[in-house]
Structure 1
Amino acid sequence: MCGIAGFVWPGHAPLPPESTRLGWLAAMTGTLAHRGPDGEGLVLEGPAALGHRRLSIIDLAAGSQPMEDPTGRVVVTFNGEIYNYRELKARYAARGFKFRTNSDTEAILAAWLLDGPAGLDDLEGMFAFALWDKATHTLFAARDRFGKKPFYYTLQDGVLAFASELSSLRQLPFLRLQTPVSALMRFAAYEYVPTPETIYRDVYKLKPGHSLLFRDGRLTTAAYWDMPLPGPEPEASEEELCDRLRLLLAQAVKRRLVADVPLGVFLSGGIDSSTVAALTAGMVSRIKTFSIGFSEASYDESRYARLVASRFATDHHERILSADACGSLLPEIVARFDEPMADPSIVPTYLLSQVTRENVTVALGGDGPDELFYGYEYFPAFNLAAGYDRLPPFLRRRVIEPLAGLLPHSAGYINPRFVADTFLAGAAAPPWLRVQTWLSAFTAEAQAPLWRHPAPGLLAPENLFAPTRDLFEAYPAADPLARVGYAFARQYMLDYILVKVDRCSMMHSLEVRAPFLDRDVAEFICRLPSRYKLRGAKRKYLLKKAVAGLLPKEILGRGKRGFLIPVASWLRGQLRPQVDALLGEKHLREQGLFDPKEVGRLVAEHVGGAADHRKKLWTLLVLQLWLDHHKPDIIP
């Protein structure tokens, strides 16, 4: 796990002095030191400048980057891990490639030199890399299949610049990094800025499963992999499918145990992380596991993690914290994110990464099944909403909706009124927008009174949520639920879950690997019809059946919870000073973005208990904290 950065100067412009370019490159990599504290590398090759910050995982002695191939033709800067590099090296060596190190990085060089862009199909792992081919004056870059590793890029005035984080691009004085109001509106809708857009105009995220090629001033991107479509009903029995799934998961875990540094497992006590811990414990003696607990009983689920740790005799490490006190960490964490992201669980994820890094350098996590196996409550809710929509209109509008309005508000983890209102709003939306309506902080309708000067046209739902519609329509599955799963994986998981894990872990120089996002595992799951993922109201159907004999019954029977965070009470308590300062009338009038009256209404209703606006206010507070720290140039 590392940080990469660089730029390619246009051929029609004179090169700045070498010292100037090295200074720019050093500034770019300097902001990525947390991603790679073990070493720095800077290389200038003609118009190309490639920089690297290294977190040493494999071949600690000889794996420094940027790395050249033995002929000196190609140089690469690489972030991530290639899990099958040993098999690839054996195959490429048989074809005549001469290896000089034991590093997985050399597998990328060989793949390019022997097979060009087609070599991406051989690479199994998580990665973002950029290589410069001196013979063809080509920069080639790629991002892994699910986008576990970040890759930002921009092409301005003929200069291509790229980096692992936006903070690195901000070090180049010749780039224009401006934040349009449209990007802020997207953030308010999604709680992140969806790929390929970013918080800055003309700066993009490379899509997962895509490559980038820059030659002769022309930039092109292309897909090299996508999630396969569901197939027909499999001929194999459910028992045979369970056997196959267990075999693939064990293979995926084994691939991710290759490291020359200490390794452990994130363990929340849920089915996903417990499965990873169980499989790892069968391959490694006395595996280390890590969890976070809370002193408040209503938010603490650490007993489930301890149960799994005891079952598999792991070397378990946990830290018990006060959920209420954790809110004070929010400003620090938000300020360190290169883009705003309003997932409240960034706080415990940050703390879990901190605890884990005190003991190991690599951790395996359980990300992926909620999206691939339809583990979120939104999946059965999608089917329920389709049935609700078929009810007679008078029954919906005259009976059910008035009754829902009588439900009470609550500041707890479950707010009955908020759940009912959110479900009804999504049920009224078209299928492509239904789940995103449930996920959104601010729908198009809710944003209308929020902005003083909104971006023209974006207040129409089909424009504000166009990224979701594009994904829904791009996946030609006959089953609408499969399209929902695709959009979840390509948007929510990509820009919310994986970004959270990458940023929080790398703030502590910790590498996190995701066995469920192994290509073989993912393709097997994707090809299954939806009934193997969602059976009635039972989510993760086949996964639960496959691991039934592996995990304790208490774990198998648990519902999906995630990190429980008291956001509603935080906003009324320890975060109230930030709410008053950053969402108060004086600040909002000086800033000129939001309507103080509308924001004031949201704050007053939430603080007074008249309504639950935790999602809206949390999103606004995170955005204001980010704006206050980064102070971007905001444009219409």
Structure 2
Amino acid sequence: MCGIAGLVDSLGRPLPPEAMESLQAMTASMAHRGPDGCGHWRDGPAALGHRRLSIIDLSTGAQPMEDAHGRLAVTFNGEIYNYREIRAALEALGHAFRTCSDTEVILAGWLQWGPRCLERFEGMFAFALWDRRERTLFCARDRFGKKPFFYTLQNGLFAFASESSALRRVPGLRLDVEAATLARFLAYEYVPSPESIYRQVKKLPPSHWLELREGRVTLGRYWSLPAPEPARASEAELGRELERLMAQAVKRRMISDVPLGVFLSGGIDSSLVAALMAGQAPRIKTFSIGFREASYDESAYARSVARMWDTEHHEHILSAEDCAGLLPEIVTRFDEPMADPSIAPTYLLSKVTRQEVTVALGGDGADELFAGYEHFQGFQAARLYNALPRPVRRFVVDPACAALPASDGYVNLRLGAATFLHGARQAPWLRVQDWLTALHPELQRQLWRDPAPLGLDAPQLFASTRRTFDRSSASADLDRLFHAYCRQYLLDYILVKVDRCTMMHSLEARAPFLDRDVAEFACRLPTHMKLRGLSRKYLLKKALAHLLPEEIRTRNKRGFLIPVARWLRDKLKPLVEELLGEDHLRRQGLFDPKTVRGLVHEHDSGRRDRRKELWTLLVLQLWLAHNKPDVS
């Protein structure tokens, strides 16, 4: 896990001397991604930079790295878990190696197979490879986008980095923000790929490569999620195969020359990873966060798993209220705005974990691949709702939902019911995104001072969701939804949160559920093997139940519990008054103060829970105040 950056003159002209100063500034801005070393390399029109977090081959794996013949140079972020097998195959073909690193395997793999080397790599990665002979730059990103890659091409200069904020260190690059992009952020709570927060910057999509040749940028896909297939084995046989694949995925991710452990939340996914890891190594280290407030604390579940597998368990107990004070600092450190309040406990968990280990495995990806979210059940329930006669919906179901009690807690029945009904009335491609949306189009039309040019109708605002949904090779709407979750929500929300929070503490996070073999197995499963009635992650739970304590097997999914609704009324109230207050909004000129004041009043009075809307607005204002981009 590292930070990479680079500059290339797309027309092949030598870079000016000051380009190296810019490159050094770019890598310096990402020192948290690689505190163990820094390297820079230059050849005529190309310059590559690297910040190193040493994981494999601690003594000889420095980057940027050249091949033995001096034709290629690469800067690489991530891990190739099967690099030893690939190395053996390359040695059999006559390649010799000077190091024990996975980086050198990328160089030899490219020389042997060209872009098709990506088909062989199992791992998480983003890399850029300069070919001296061909005068081309080849870049690639892993299958799920675990590792970030931002790029821009302006005035003949191609620049890339692991964080978009590093690009701001290059003089002459224009990086401004469109109001339409901010509108999409307010809807999604993140900026959907391949767009970035900056108008001129793109994200390389997962499972894609990029080639810069003679001033032109070309993109290509090297892997796609497979579609569901009819079951070709019994349920018991599928269960045994899943356990084998998961054990293999965990073993692959235990390759390390530094200490490693497990994020253990006490949920099913991280508990399974811990169990499988404990079965392959003596006394593993597990890490969890607990809260003093009983209503938010789930540390007892993590302790139960730790006892079952006799792990060296590390538990950090804090007050949920303490997280509120950290949120502004963390939000401003993100290179793009993200409105997930659980970044605070994720940040803290990463901090305490880094004190003991350099690598941590986790359960990310299981919910998307094996149907772990309640939204999938909601999608099915919406079909039943829409099948009811209209009078029953209008005069029975809708009034009953409106009469449910409201709450500031994790579960707000009235808000949940209202959210369900709003989404249930949408087209299948939009339904779940509607449930996830912070500020819907109808509210944004009131919010923006000049909404006309922003494209606030649903097809435009959520065009990314429609494209992702339609690109699925599956035929059933529910299977298309699974695909969209993997290619949008997992990519731009879950993985970005984990990458940024862990990297702030120079900690590498690995996700066994995102192993290619596991993912392809999960995607090919028929729907009833993942979602059966009210049972989510059906096969995963049934096949691996013997690895879990009873209380873990039967509990419902819950994320980090954060009392945002209450914080907005007390702990964060000064920030709300400052950044969402009338004076600031009038000076800024983006949003209608009266509409924002109405949202705040509704929330403060308890008339309506506006936690999602207000928190997302507050995150945006924090990020804008810290980064001060031009907005047009």
TM-score between both structures, scaled by the size of structure 1 = 0.99
Amino acid at match of 2:353: T
Shift of 1:397: 1.3
> What residue in structure 1 maps to residue 619 of structure 2?
622
Separation in 2 of the partners of 1:497 and 1:370?
A: 11
Separation in 2 of the partners of 1:544 and 1:31?
A: 43
Amino acid at match of 1:229: A
Separation in 2 of the partners of 1:319 and 1:72?
A: 49
> What residue in structure 1 maps to residue 95 of structure 2?
97
Separation in 1 of the partners of 2:417 and 2:502?
A: 35
2:246 to 249, 253, 265: 249
Checking the alignment, whether the CA contact within 8 Å between 1:323 and 1:565 is kept in structure 2 is: yes
Pick which of 392-401 and 35-44 moved more: 392-401
1:566 to 563, 568, 576: 563
> What residue in structure 2 maps to residue 9 of structure 1?
9
Q: 1:45 to 1:115 in 2, by over 3 A?
A: same
> What residue in structure 1 maps to residue 360 of structure 2?
363
Checking the alignment, whether the CA contact within 8 Å between 1:181 and 1:454 is kept in structure 2 is: no
Checking the alignment, whether the CA contact within 8 Å between 1:375 and 1:540 is kept in structure 2 is: yes
Separation in 1 of the partners of 2:620 and 2:77?
A: 28
Separation in 1 of the partners of 2:238 and 2:12?
A: 58
2:149 to 130, 141, 151: 151
Checking the alignment, whether the CA contact within 8 Å between 2:401 and 2:418 is kept in structure 1 is: yes
Question: SS where residue 170 of structure 1 aligns?
Answer: helix
Checking the alignment, whether the CA contact within 8 Å between 1:280 and 1:287 is kept in structure 2 is: yes
Unaligned runs of 5+ in 2: none
> What residue in structure 2 maps to residue 530 of structure 1?
527
Question: SS where residue 179 of structure 1 aligns?
Answer: coil
2:401 to 396, 404, 415: 404
User: 1:373-423 CA distances to partner (integer Å, 9 max, x unpaired)?
Assistant: 110000010000011111111111122112222222210111111001100
Separation in 2 of the partners of 1:499 and 1:229?
A: 25
Amino acid at match of 1:130: A
Shift of 1:455: 5.8
Amino acid at match of 1:622: V
Separation in 2 of the partners of 1:446 and 1:532?
A: 39
Question: SS where residue 31 of structure 2 aligns?
Answer: coil
Question: SS where residue 634 of structure 1 aligns?
Answer: coil
Separation in 2 of the partners of 1:355 and 1:411?
A: 29
2:512 to 512, 515, 531: 515
> What residue in structure 1 maps to residue 350 of structure 2?
353
Checking the alignment, whether the CA contact within 8 Å between 2:14 and 2:44 is kept in structure 1 is: no
Amino acid at match of 1:347: A
How many residue pairs are counted as aligned between the two chains? 632
2:217 to 216, 219, 224: 219
User: 1:355-387 CA distances to partner (integer Å, 9 max, x unpaired)?
Assistant: 100000000000011000110000010000011
Separation in 2 of the partners of 1:618 and 1:39?
A: 37
Question: SS where residue 295 of structure 2 aligns?
Answer: coil
Separation in 2 of the partners of 1:69 and 1:98?
A: 10
Separation in 1 of the partners of 2:148 and 2:451?
A: 29
1:497-516 equivalences in 2 (<5 Å): 497-516=494-513
Separation in 2 of the partners of 1:455 and 1:557?
A: 49
Separation in 2 of the partners of 1:10 and 1:242?
A: 51
> What residue in structure 2 maps to residue 176 of structure 1?
174
Shift of 1:313: 0.3
> What residue in structure 2 maps to residue 236 of structure 1?
233
Task: Please state if 1:387 is matched with 2:396.
Answer: no
Shift of 1:566: 0.4
Structure 1: 4+ residue segments shifted above 4 A: none
Question: SS where residue 611 of structure 1 aligns?
Answer: coil
> What residue in structure 2 maps to residue 606 of structure 1?
603
1:291 to 288, 291, 298: 288
Shift of 1:9: 1.2
Checking the alignment, whether the CA contact within 8 Å between 2:226 and 2:473 is kept in structure 1 is: no
User: 1:574-593 CA distances to partner (integer Å, 9 max, x unpaired)?
Assistant: 11100000000110000011
Separation in 2 of the partners of 1:183 and 1:457?
A: 9
> What residue in structure 2 maps to residue 40 of structure 1?
38
Shift of 1:607: 1.0
Checking the alignment, whether the CA contact within 8 Å between 1:364 and 1:515 is kept in structure 2 is: yes
User: 1:177-203 CA distances to partner (integer Å, 9 max, x unpaired)?
Assistant: 010001100100000000000111021
Separation in 2 of the partners of 1:309 and 1:199?
A: 41
Checking the alignment, whether the CA contact within 8 Å between 1:8 and 1:160 is kept in structure 2 is: yes
Shift of 1:14: 5.8
Separation in 1 of the partners of 2:229 and 2:104?
A: 36
Task: Please state if 1:588 is matched with 2:585.
Answer: yes
Checking the alignment, whether the CA contact within 8 Å between 1:180 and 1:201 is kept in structure 2 is: yes
Question: SS where residue 546 of structure 2 aligns?
Answer: coil
2:320 to 310, 323, 327: 323
Task: Please state if 1:167 is matched with 2:165.
Answer: yes
Question: SS where residue 538 of structure 1 aligns?
Answer: coil
Pick which of 288-297 and 469-478 moved more: 469-478
Checking the alignment, whether the CA contact within 8 Å between 2:246 and 2:513 is kept in structure 1 is: yes
Question: SS where residue 221 of structure 1 aligns?
Answer: strand
Amino acid at match of 2:115: P
Checking the alignment, whether the CA contact within 8 Å between 1:28 and 1:171 is kept in structure 2 is: yes
Shift of 1:445: 1.3
User: 1:262-321 CA distances to partner (integer Å, 9 max, x unpaired)?
Assistant: 000000011100000000001111100000000000000000000000100000001001
RMSD: 0.9
> What residue in structure 2 maps to residue 474 of structure 1?
471
Checking the alignment, whether the CA contact within 8 Å between 1:182 and 1:454 is kept in structure 2 is: no
Task: Please state if 1:422 is matched with 2:397.
Answer: no
User: 1:237-280 CA distances to partner (integer Å, 9 max, x unpaired)?
Assistant: 11110000000000000000010000000000111000000000
User: 1:482-512 CA distances to partner (integer Å, 9 max, x unpaired)?
Assistant: 1001100101010000000000000000000
Question: SS where residue 178 of structure 1 aligns?
Answer: coil
User: 1:609-633 CA distances to partner (integer Å, 9 max, x unpaired)?
Assistant: 1110000001001111101101111
Checking the alignment, whether the CA contact within 8 Å between 1:34 and 1:508 is kept in structure 2 is: yes
Separation in 2 of the partners of 1:320 and 1:608?
A: 32
Question: SS where residue 248 of structure 1 aligns?
Answer: helix
> What residue in structure 2 maps to residue 190 of structure 1?
188
Amino acid at match of 1:627: L
Shift of 1:457: 5.2
Separation in 1 of the partners of 2:49 and 2:472?
A: 36
Question: SS where residue 294 of structure 2 aligns?
Answer: coil
Shift of 1:235: 2.5
Checking the alignment, whether the CA contact within 8 Å between 1:270 and 1:560 is kept in structure 2 is: yes
Question: SS where residue 363 of structure 1 aligns?
Answer: strand
Amino acid at match of 2:336: E
Separation in 2 of the partners of 1:227 and 1:487?
A: 11
Amino acid at match of 2:118: L
Question: SS where residue 330 of structure 2 aligns?
Answer: helix
Checking the alignment, whether the CA contact within 8 Å between 1:181 and 1:455 is kept in structure 2 is: no
Amino acid at match of 2:320: A
Checking the alignment, whether the CA contact within 8 Å between 2:15 and 2:46 is kept in structure 1 is: no
TM-score between both structures, scaled by the size of structure 2 = 0.99
> What residue in structure 2 maps to residue 69 of structure 1?
67
Separation in 2 of the partners of 1:235 and 1:339?
A: 44
Pick which of 7-16 and 139-148 moved more: 7-16
Shift of 1:10: 3.2
Question: SS where residue 568 of structure 2 aligns?
Answer: helix
User: 1:496-554 CA distances to partner (integer Å, 9 max, x unpaired)?
Assistant: 00000000000000000000000000000100111100001100000000111111110
1:263-302 equivalences in 2 (<5 Å): 263-302=260-299
Amino acid at match of 1:47: P
Unaligned runs of 5+ in 1: none
Separation in 1 of the partners of 2:534 and 2:511?
A: 26
Separation in 2 of the partners of 1:10 and 1:415?
A: 54
Task: Please state if 1:541 is matched with 2:538.
Answer: yes
Checking the alignment, whether the CA contact within 8 Å between 1:127 and 1:149 is kept in structure 2 is: yes
